[in-house]
């Protein structure tokens, strides 16, 4: 089980959270002008790296706020926790 | 249920050759799907200049980690067609391969615990029958006749309100299936090369003409990927992006028991599935961990929940001990259906996205993938499972439809 450090509540067990998939996937700027392939990319295609991955979690049975976690998908190590309005930490790509 | 004794542990069933400089076809991934693909490349298409490249050891991935459930009671026409083709192939495969891997058609029950489950189940039975798949709706008393140890009392938290039943479904000894396929492919000249990781692709313009491996460069007329949980990592090396996410999926077994569990029981709602292996272990599985992961291990709370569900459904299991747990990495697509077909790169083909349910499909995955690689075109059975369905929108949405939550 993961131990995730909510920016507002501190470290809690994984079971208090829900997973929200890849972080930093903005809604397309030019939604009207998108081709089918570009829509497919936005709706269905996500990164799936073996290694550091920026993802969203919500503290669903705590403060109910969303935030981002940078986690290594191979080691399960949590590398950083940061707010939605913050950029992915430098030097982690 | 077959009462045959376990097959003898086999001696060496295949050679361990050095890779040649080039092959007509390279299949990447020596799991059940890769081996079945090699088998049908030989058998259906007469292509024998084939190598299967495996980074670890043959069938050391999900092939030897799954809970071995084989069934074809999927909701949508496209799925019913390919999984039923697989089930028909399973029925003749022991003879075809001359190897008794203990395919046991002991039936599968998919339990319903809510009114919505009942409606979904009845609908699926009707859909199955229209597709020529054997399926029945059972009332709780009938469930207890098929599997007397299931608690069908109405005093549990989620009472059993009925079940769908597929009598032809069952289990098989997965590692023996792999060895049987490997022996056959090897005997027909296919090179099975273990300890050989594909680390890159050799390109000639838009075409793939070979692979870079931990054992050097190997050229190939065509390359088929069958790498299960690592499919997106591998395809990424060729510049192909796949709509799959890799998740840990766990299973566990108890110590050995006398034969008490005659069938396979699956419950979507309380989410556990249980069968009894030939030796006597209770084999259990549940859903994937929610997050992406490649760690070959999962979260303890998933096991805790599935055990709670199992004990409520099967009170007799309350004192059984867990002997081992393990995890595999499964690649899940947005519509919970596989991708089998061509890629934007010429001569590169992909078979992936089987998620939690690809063991049952092993022979059909091999059959259709071999066809696609040999002819450059999909077989009618895998044409609907093309990569471009995520662009056209022609999804085959088995999420919550395939009698299992993913
Ligand atoms: C716990 C668990 C329970 C399951 N239960 C069931 C079930 O009851 N019924 C069912 O139908 N399905 C089940 N499945 C799913 C099923 O096991 C898979 O869908 C299926 O095995 C996938 O195909 P495969 O056998 O070829 O995969 P694998 O056996 O995983 O084969 C892929 C191979 O590719 C190799 N590989 C990866 N990258 C490279 C590389 N770069 N170079 C060389 N080789 C590489 C891997 O080492 C691996 O051996 C379960 C899976 C798990 C994990
Ligand atoms: Zn919080």
Residue B18 pLDDT more than 70?
A: yes
Kindly state whether residue B136 falls inside one of the protein's structural domains.
yes
Band of residue B2 on the pLDDT scale cut at 50, 70, 90: low
Ranges A52-66, B288-302, B326-340: which has the least confidence? B288-302
| Strand-pair partners of A55 | A22, A69
The number of domains in chain B is: 2
Question: Which residues contact residue B89 at a Cβ distance below 8 angstroms, ignoring those fewer than 6 apart?
Answer: B363, B364, B367
Q: What is the 3-state secondary structure (H, E, C) of B231-263?
A: HHHHHHHCCCCCCCEEEEEEEEEEEECCCCCCC
Residues B322 and B255 in one domain: yes
| pLDDT bracket for residue B109 (50, 70, 90) | very high
Determine, yes or no, domain membership for B91.
Answer: no
Interface of B with A (CB under 8 A): 230, 232-233, 241-246, 290-295, 299-301, 331, 334, 390-393
Alpha carbon of B106 to those of B128, B173, B215, B276, B383: distances in Å? 18, 13, 44, 10, 31
**Are both B158 and B251 inside the same structural domain?**
yes
Residues B227 and B276 in one domain: no
Q: Are residues B179 and B228 in the same domain?
A: yes
B159: in domain:
yes
Q: How many CB atoms lie within 10 A of CB B393?
A: 12
- Do residue B60 and residue B124 come from a single domain? no
- Between CA B10 and CA B176 the distance in angstroms is 9
Domain end, chosen from B332, B361, B378, is at: B332
Same domain assignment for residues B216 and B325: no
Q: What is the mean pLDDT of chain B?
A: 95
Whether residue A27 lies within 8 A of chain B, CB to CB, comes out as no
pLDDT at B406 over 70: no
User: Is A75 an 8 Å CB contact of chain B?
Assistant: yes
The tens digit of pLDDT for each residue in B266-286 reads 999 998 999 999 999 999 998
In a domain, B100, yes or no: no
User: What's the CATH number where B272 sits?
Assistant: 3.30.9.10
All residues at 6 or more sequence positions from A33 whose CB lies less than 8 Å from its CB, including other chains: none
CB B155 within 8 A of CB B178: no
With a cut of 70, say whether residue B317 has pLDDT above it: yes
Query: Contact, B363 vs B63, CB < 8 A?
Result: no
Is residue B92 within a helix (H) or strand (E), and if so which, with residue range? Answer: helix B77-97
Identify whether residues B179 and B325 lie together within a single domain: no
Write the pLDDT tens digit of every residue in B348-389.
Answer: 999 999 999 999 999 999 999 999 999 999 999 999 999 999
Whether the CB of B338 sits within 6 Å of ligand 1: no
CA dihedral for A68, A73, A78, A79, sign (positive or negative): negative
Q: Do B239 and B384 share a domain, yes or no?
A: yes
Give the whole-angstrom CA distance, residue B341 versus residue B334. Answer: 17
Name the band, by pLDDT with cuts 50, 70 and 90, for residue B402.
Answer: low
Question: Under a CB-based contact definition with an 8 Å cutoff, are residues B36 and B178 in contact?
Answer: no
Instruction: Flag if A1 and B301 touch (Cβ within 8 Å).
Output: yes
**Which residues of chain A are within 8 Å of residue B334 when distances are taken between CB atoms?**
43-44
What residues contact B318, with CB distance under 8 A and at least 6 apart? B311
Answer whether residue B364 is part of any domain: yes
Contact B370, B40 (CB under 8 A): yes
User: B239 and B249: one domain?
Assistant: no
* Dist. CA B337–CA B301, nearest whole Å: 27
In chain A, the domains with their CATH numbers are: 3-27+39-82 (3.30.2270.10)
Largest distance between two CA atoms of chain A: 43
Q: How far apart are CA B344 and CA A68, in angstroms?
A: 33
Residue B69 Cα distances to A66, B132, B273, angstroms: 38, 20, 9
Residue B200: inside a domain: yes
Same domain, B323 and B353: no
The answer to whether residue B134 scores a pLDDT higher than 70 is yes
In the structure encoding, which two tokens stand for residue B18, read together? Answer: 């050095």
Q: What is the per-residue pLDDT across B54-89, written as a single tens digit (0 to 9) for each?
A: 999 999 999 999 999 999 999 999 999 999 999 999
How far apart are alpha carbons B85 and B79 in whole angstroms? 10
User: What pTM was computed for the model?
Assistant: 0.96
pLDDT reported for residue A93: 54
DSSP state at residue B14: S
| pLDDT of B5 | 73
The pLDDT, as a whole number, for residue B81 is 98
Q: Is B35 helix (H, G, I), strand (E, B) or coil?
A: helix
Q: How far is B301 from chain A (nearest CA, A)?
A: 7
Domain end among B313, B332, B351: B332
Q: Please give the pLDDT value at position B120.
A: 95
Q: What is the extent of the structural domain holding B299?
A: 105-168+245-332
Give the residue, by CA position, lying nearest to ligand 1 atom 32. Answer: B227
* Residues 6+ positions from B104 with CB-CB distance below 8 Å: B1, B2, B170, B171, B172, B278
B289 Cβ below 6 A of ligand 1: no
A34 interfaces chain B, CB cutoff of 8 Å: no
Using the predicted structure, report yes or no on whether residue B264 has a pLDDT greater than 90: yes
Instruction: Establish if B381 belongs to a structural domain.
Output: yes
In this predicted model, which residue has the larger pLDDT, B399 or B191?
B191
Whose tokens are 């009707």? That residue is B126
Q: What is the pLDDT of residue B296?
A: 85
Report pLDDT for A1: 85
Domain boundary among B317, B332, B347: B332
Q: Report the share of chain B in percent with pLDDT over 90.
A: 92
Beta bridge partners of A72: A52
Q: For the range B151-159, what are the long-range contacts, defined as Cβ-Cβ under 8 Å and sequence gap of 24 or more?
A: B151/B312, B151/B313, B151/B314, B151/B315, B156/B312, B156/B313, B157/B312, B158/B113, B158/B114, B158/B269, B158/B270, B158/B312, B159/B113
Q: Is the pLDDT of residue B149 over 90?
A: yes
Q: Nearest CA of chain A to the CA of B228: how many Å?
A: 13
| HEC per residue, B208-237 | EEEEEECCEEEEEEEEEECCHHHHHHHHHH
For B253, residues 6+ apart whose C-beta sits below 8 A from its C-beta are: B277, B281, B282, B283, B284, B322, B323, B324
| Alpha-carbon Rg for chain A in angstroms | 15
Calpha distance B290→B403 (Å, rounded): 19
Q: Report CA(B96)–ligand 1 centroid distance (Å).
A: 23
Does the residue B195 lie in any domain? yes
Please indicate if any CB of chain B lies within 8 Å of the CB of A8.
no
With beta carbons less than 8 A apart as the criterion, state whether B295 and A76 touch: yes
Residue B369 to residue B44: CA distance in whole angstroms: 11
Residue B153 and residue B201 in one domain:
no
Q: Are residues B158 and B260 in the same domain?
A: yes
Q: Are strands B22-28 and B216-225 parallel, antiparallel or unpaired?
A: parallel
Question: CA B156 to CA B168: how far, in whole Å?
Answer: 29
Residue B213's CATH number: 3.50.50.60
How high is the pLDDT of residue B405? 57
How many angstroms separate the CA atoms of A70 and B323, rounded? Answer: 34
Of B46, B45, B63, the closest CA to residue B54 belongs to: B63
Asked whether the predicted pLDDT for residue A53 surpasses 80, the reply is yes
Q: With 60 as the cut, is the pLDDT of residue A92 above it? A: no
């Amino acid at each position: 089980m993961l131990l995730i450090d909510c920016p507002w509540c501190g470290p809690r067990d994984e079971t208090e959270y829900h997973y929200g998939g890849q972080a930093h996937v903005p809604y397309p700027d030019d939604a009207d002008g998108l081709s089918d392939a570009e829509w497919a990319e936005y709706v269905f295609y996500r990164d799936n790296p073996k290694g550091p991955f920026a993802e969203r979690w919500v503290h669903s049975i705590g403060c109910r706020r969303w935030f981002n976690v940078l986690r290594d998908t191979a080691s399960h190590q949590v590398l950083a926790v940061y707010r939605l309005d913050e950029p992915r930490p430098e030097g982690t790509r | 249920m077959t009462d045959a004794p376990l097959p003898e542990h086999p001696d060496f069933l295949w050679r361990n050759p050095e890779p040649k400089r080039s092959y007509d076809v390279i299949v990447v991934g020596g799991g059940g799907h890769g081996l079945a693909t090699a088998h049908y490349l030989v058998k259906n298409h007469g292509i024998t200049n084939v190598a299967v490249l495996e980074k670890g050891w043959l069938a050391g991935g999900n092939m030897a980690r799954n809970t071995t459930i084989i069934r074809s009671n999927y909701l949508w026409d496209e799925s019913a067609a390919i999984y039923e083709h697989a089930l028909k192939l399973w029925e003749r495969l022991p003879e075809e391969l001359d190897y008794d891997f203990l395919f046991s058609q002991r039936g599968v029950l998919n339990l319903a615990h809510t009114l919505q489950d009942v409606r979904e189940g009845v609908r699926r039975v009707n859909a199955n029958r229209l597709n020529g798949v054997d399926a029945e709706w059972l009332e709780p008393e009938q469930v207890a006749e098929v599997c007397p140890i299931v608690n069908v009392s109405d005093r549990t938290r989620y009472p059993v309100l009925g079940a769908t039943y597929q009598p032809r479904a069952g289990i098989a000894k997965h590692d023996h299936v792999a060895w049987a396929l490997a022996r056959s492919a090897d005997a027909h000249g296919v090179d099975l090369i273990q300890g050989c990781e594909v680390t890159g692709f050799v390109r000639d313009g838009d075409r793939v003409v070979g692979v870079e491996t931990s054992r050097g460069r190997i050229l190939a007329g065509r390359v088929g990927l069958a790498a299960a949980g690592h499919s997106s990592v591998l395809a990424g090396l060729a510049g192909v992006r796949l709509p799959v996410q890799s998740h840990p999926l766990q299973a566990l077994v108890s110590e050995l028991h006398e034969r008490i569990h005659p069938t396979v029981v699956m419950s979507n709602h309380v989410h556990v599935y249980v069968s009894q292996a030939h030796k006597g272990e209770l084999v259990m599985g549940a859903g994937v961990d929610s997050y992406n992961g490649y760690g070959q291990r999962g979260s303890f709370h998933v096991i805790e929940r599935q055990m709670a569900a199992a004990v409520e459904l099967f009170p007799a299991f309350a004192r059984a001990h867990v002997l081992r747990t393990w995890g595999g990495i499964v690649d899940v697509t947005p519509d919970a259906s596989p991708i089998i077909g061509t890629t934007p790169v010429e001569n590169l083909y992909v078979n992936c996205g089987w998620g939690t349910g690809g063991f049952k499909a092993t022979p059909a995955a091999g059959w259709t993938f071999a066809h696609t690689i040999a002819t450059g075109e999909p077989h009618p059975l895998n044409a609907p499972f093309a990569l471009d369905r995520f662009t056209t929108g022609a999804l085959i949405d088995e999420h919550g439809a395939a009698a299992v939550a993913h």
